[in-house]
Amino acid sequence: MGILFIAANLRVPFTGIAPVLPLIQNDFGLSNSAVGLLTSLPLLAFAAFSPLSASVAHKFGIERTLFGALVVISLGILLRSAGSAWALYAGTILIGTGIALGNVLLPGLIKRDFSKNMASMTGAYAITMGASGAVGSAVIIPLTQAWGWPIALSLLVAVPLFALVLWLPQLKKHDPVNLSGPKKSATVAVWKSPLAWQVTLFMGLNAMPFYVAVGWLPTILIDHGISATQAGSVHGTLQLATAIPGLILAATLRRLKDQKLAAVTTSLLVAISLIGLIYAPNLAMLWAALLGFGSGASMMLGLTFIGLRTKNAGDTAALSGMAQCVGYLMAAAGPLLLGQLHDWTGGWTAPLLTTAAIAIAGAFTGMMAGRNVQLEPGSSSN
């Protein structure tokens, strides 16, 4: 239960703000580029703090580090609602920092304590993330209509506070932990490997459209005449749909000779759904479901590629660090780029078409990353 409630905090404090972004933008007089930065800040925090998470857990213990992450998320939620622009941005950075710690450490904890039930625990963890994000997006507008967006966003602190209470018994376990096991050095220079870059770009090019949608979808729908309440529900559907691939894709991938078709299909689903939002916004619920499914599947594929394309733990760790760092930086650029394009063009057609083009580029990298090959020491021909 403690793990699942921590998982709930890895999505809802970040995504819950999106349905009320138009109100925040109006109250603070922010440009679309400034709103894009607000959406990108947690992703920049992911890129900055994810590589440090294992070192922090090694020093303080994984249970205490996760407890600290929940405290940081709680403080970030309260600071974000304090009523000033600097607090809005500073609180968002704190939220991103806490989520970054949880993103890295929770899968390691599951592997350590539930090694015989990893598939079911990971599935439950993915569903909890998607479901909590969906509920948060659905309830934030009614709460805002009742009390205003600052109070509505501050009420999200109930989620990490409840998780803190559930996690208290785990603080007795605080032995330093090395999540990666014995230190193994990489045998491949991943930053010079074409195959490593193909995996990395597949993750980044597919993360960009998802985080664009997470940050901007409610605003896009409201500008198309859809009510704020309905936009929040559609945003919730997007997040819930990201959990579905985790239930069906793992078993399917094991039967495939390679993953090229799966990678191309998931990326093109995202591109089609983005184009659908432009030309048939009345079917927004369908496009959100397709976009969420495609994004969830491509994220899972990207993480799977890290293991499939490497031969040992050292290479896996090196490729994972490269792919996640570059992937989060690319993902952070997505909302910023979309906001800037909207400022330049005054509409959503060009930004959404550009994002669809990014997803199509993700399909091309998926054709390469999905090949049944592995990184070879000293080779640059992959």
With contact defined as beta carbons under 8 Å apart, do 286 and 276 qualify? yes
Dihedral, 183, 189, 190, 196 alpha carbons, nearest 10: -130
Phi-psi group of 173: left, alpha or beta (phi > 0 → left; psi -120 to 50 → alpha; rest → beta): beta
* 8-state DSSP, 17: T
**pLDDT-based confidence at 213, cuts 50/70/90?**
very high
Residue 110 in this model has a pLDDT that exceeds 80: no
With contact defined as beta carbons under 8 Å apart, do 340 and 210 qualify? no
Q: Which one, of 331, 374, 265, lies nearest residue 41 by Cα?
A: 331
Q: Which one, of 283, 276, 281, lies nearest residue 359 by Cα?
A: 276
Could you tell me where the DSSP H helices lie in 168-259?
A: 194-223, 228-242, 244-253
With contact defined as beta carbons under 8 Å apart, do 199 and 323 qualify? yes
Q: What is the pLDDT of residue 352?
A: 96
**pLDDT-based confidence at 77, cuts 50/70/90?**
very high
Q: What are phi and psi of 133, to 5 degrees?
A: -60, -40
- Comparing 259 with 108, the larger pLDDT belongs to 259
Q: Which one, of 132, 142, 12, lies nearest residue 74 by Cα?
A: 12
Q: What is the pLDDT of residue 341?
A: 94
Q: Which single residue is written with the structure tokens 């983005």? A: 274
The percentage of residues in the chain with a pLDDT greater than 90, rounded to a whole number, is 57
What contacts 338, CB < 8 A, 6 or more positions away?
36, 212, 215, 216, 351, 354, 355
